[in-house]
Structure 1
Amino acid sequence: MEGKKSSDHSGETTIRIPETTTKSIKLERGGGGGWKRGVGIFDFILRLSAIAASLAAAVTMGTTDQTLPFFTQFFQFQASYDDLPAFTFFVIANAATSGYLVLSLAFSIVGIVRPHLTGIRLLLLILDIVMVSLTTAAAAAAGAIVYLAHNGNPSANWIAICQQFDDFCQRISGAVVASFIAAFLLILLVILSAVALRRH
């Protein structure tokens, strides 16, 4: 908008600025806060969903075992998650991810209350990337073992055990799926934080 010049009898020139200019500046400054607050709320919801997925994966895998009786109770076949290091790593990684996500909820709430703070958003972005790597590595390692459990490997003379340990295989398969869901939600959190920082 352009101001209007006027001169009085003393020869001084005054510039009149319309009131709408200052109002539009205030609206322009406050407009981004609502968008960033919406991003913060969506971030909080995604973190709750990721907590549920990673915790379900850790608990399901960590409580999985199956015993098959063979002739007598003294001679049995048993399958447990801690028989394989990949499954142990899977439980630890998903438990660590869920623990981090619980702690990050406090920072996410601060991001909702104070949407213009970029330091918290940057910190969450870096830590979320670390957790994406950890969760994806654990899910991929466990997924390879689950594939072998279902299909075996004739070249290495590894037999498929899921025909006998069907309950065990169903539980570990579900745990791996839940972990991949948690990894996907963490990727969405990383993208959301990057977009929010980009538009700051």
Structure 2
Amino acid sequence: MISGDSASTAIIVRDPNIDSKGKAPIEPASPPAAAPKVQLAAISGKNNVRGCRRCIALLDFLLRLCAIGASLAATITMGTTEETLPFSGEFFQYHASYEDLPALTFFVIGNAVTAGYLVLSLPFSLVTVIWPQVLGLKLLLLVLDTVMLALVTSSAASAASIVYLAHNGDPKANWVSICMQFHGFCQRINGAVVASFVASVVLIVLVVMSGLVLRKH
């Protein structure tokens, strides 16, 4: 303001940052920084992969329980199979047992070994459920599962050949069918062979699953 003797002249300098009403305009807030979508997508993908691995490992554990039940059923059924015909005399006995045939004895041993291995493999399978990223343990289980698959399949195949001969015989070799007399014996060995093949199928699934998991890495 400039003052004089006769008049006063006021010069007002207006601040460009203040509007006509005397209020400073509100500056628009700056938009928030864009979220790193790529990083979030990568983290989400890793979580999905980890969850998929855990689900596969859990399925592996459950299938091992099924294989244990099937192989144990085959072992117990065949190992307790014997029958003596009621018309056997004091000096002549018509008796059938798995111990009379080496193929059936091998069947019992093969399925018992497989069942024992599967029981011992349960803690290792449980570790892969908790820590699905442990690939070395999965590779070990894959190798041992393959060995057990070969053992249980060969034992089941050898027993299946005996079951076939027991039902049909072999006329060319003059081997007669024994299932006409030993009904209970044949029924039990039939069930044991079926249970053993079920265990074989489960082991095949386990081997394929482990192979696919390791192939992705």
TM-score normalised by structure 1 residue count = 0.88
For 1:157, the aligned partner's letter is N
Count of aligned residue pairs for this structure pair = 185
In structure 2, which of residues 69, 80, 95 is the aligned counterpart of residue 52 of structure 1? 69
TM alignment of 1:50-199, pairs within 5 A: 50-70=67-87, 72-199=89-216
By how many angstroms is 1:37 displaced?
A: 0.3
TM-score normalized by structure 2?
Answer: 0.82
Structure having the higher Rg: 2
State yes or no: 1:20 paired with 2:37.
Answer: yes
- Kindly state the Cα deviation for residue 38 of structure 1 after the two structures are TM-superposed: 0.4
* Structure with the larger helix share: 1
Give me the whole-angstrom Cα distance separating, in 1, the residues matched to 2:42 and 2:215.
22
Give CA deviations for 1:138-168 in whole Å, capped at 9, x if unaligned: 0000000110000000000000000000100
Query: Which stretches of structure 1, 4 residues or longer, exceed 6 Å deviation after superposition?
Result: none
Distance (whole Å) between structure 1 residues aligned to residue 181 and residue 106 of structure 2: 24
Give 1:198 deviation, angstroms.
1.5
> Among the aligned pairs, what percent are the same residue?
56
- Cα drift, residue 75 of structure 1: 2.6
Tell me, which stretches of 5 or more residues in structure 2 are unaligned? 1-32
* Candidates 31, 47, 52, aligned match of 2:48: 31
Task: Tell me the distance in 2 between the aligned counterparts of 1:138 and 1:56.
Answer: 14
Amino acid at match of 1:102: V
Q: Which has the higher strand share?
A: 1
Structure 2 vs 1, CA of residues 30 and 160 (structure 1 numbering), >3 Å: closer, same or farther? same
SS in 2 for 1:79: strand
Q: What RMSD over aligned residues (CA atoms) do the two structures have, in Å?
A: 1.4
Match of 1:7 in 2: none
Shift of 1:34: 0.2
**Structure 1 contact 54–97 (Cα < 8 Å) conserved:** yes
